[in-house]
Chain A
């Protein structure tokens, strides 16, 4: 296993092609726009060594019997699914933001399971390759990007009907030693600071989409891969400190557009190649694993936000007001509701044919659906409690100015016992945790709300539920 420092150092060896603001980034580790996201991901490494968290942070590999970081583990029981949930909350509490590494974890579990089922049907060797890949990831304690979302072009058209086929990742050449792929994956969390990317299809497919039904893994610095790092709300503030709110760990995961310009993938790293009927299964597997997580990483983050709101209420002199207490209770209610379904999805998990465990599909989807609403409501309450100053505060440069600083400290003062600077710091933390990029992630990450509702309707078993009512009111006989 790697420590956080070893992980960070390992990134220096990568030759990943990353662009931001029109320039190539040669040293991502010391780049102020990327560094906070590296620090956040590093927490996933450090917590595996910290006696306070290692019971959750580590697992035993079913492939090698060795102790591994839980972010490289194939879920072996419902207990593992629950431990994953608990670990994500613990890290969220520590970083107050996305730590990126769960996407790859879920991708690995999804591909592990589906590759087995493809082999069952076709006698292929995908699962064996995936097991070898897992050993490689575990041995090196790699951070892996979960690459599902294609740019998708016209959302109303399947991949093979797109005006530009490159809006879905696809195979452009099959060679004796491997395949060549082209296209892109959008919104890729942690892509700049990961070692590998595991690519999966993003939609269900028909046989005409054969070339688009592809799953594979490559190093992030494989020839032909180009990253364009996404900008975030307020990202110029990363050049300073106080105005960032969370200067060490940043906001959200540091997403990037990952472009595959004719990238070669050796056969050992290909896990699906044209088996279109398994594309939808892979999408759903990944989505279910990942939707379960949102009721826990975000809950850890909200734990920080609730604490920030309780503190700012005290700093404002309103902490004892009954409506403030009631609003804090509402935040707890909304947050723990999300967590309960996340835990339930783990406790009610079941094994898949490959032997790895899978969360309860309905509960995982309910978890994510609730996040798309509750997180927004939680942030609305946070803005209410905090007050308008988070929208109008002067900059940290003004605060540092010898003439302006004292005036800012005087007029942004809350209760006498709390230094104004603390009130400003807390306000900035709340501002950055509750706006722009942070909220959109809760809406669309792991799929837009409608994607969950489609699954909820499919699994609602309305016919059985109709019978329950018909029996009770005497339309069909009681048995």
Chain B
């Protein structure tokens, strides 16, 4: 089975978000970047497990500038066979999806993470599926293959749905799909020699642009309530906060 895992690069999870003076962008100084956790922990690892069980290949795909190569190499160190980087700056979700779709023909499964932890869009996987005219299952927490038929459990509000679908398909991975793998020394050494091909983007217009950012308002100081007096907390929640 030929598998493609689309990965994105996001600020590390402990990042304190700060904005530039005109609020048009994040203040990127000092931000550490990682592979988007859903892409790394769940999508990539499940693809590798499927390859280990049934053969095939796992290719990593990233749309981004040369700085992203470190994230791609990490994916290769975890175990992917090779990688493609579409050499482009971010142009918005549909732009990215069109770049991915231009590379994704011929794969049996195209994996995504359920969302990026920066933009929280949850839309690129579905876009690629539509562009390729293949089935899409979002927020999948289990995926088993039997021949070319996948049985997939997807998270729904307060429960799960189990579906059956044939390849080719696109899927976005949520918690439960696999367990995080830490690359070992051998993987890191091998990753340096694995092929990473850089291709140029196709033309596609931006359909959205982030005009500005805003930080949430600061919380005022916490009001402490005596642990012996929970009637008082209930009164505050009812009369002051008006939430119960």
Co-assembled chains A and B:
no
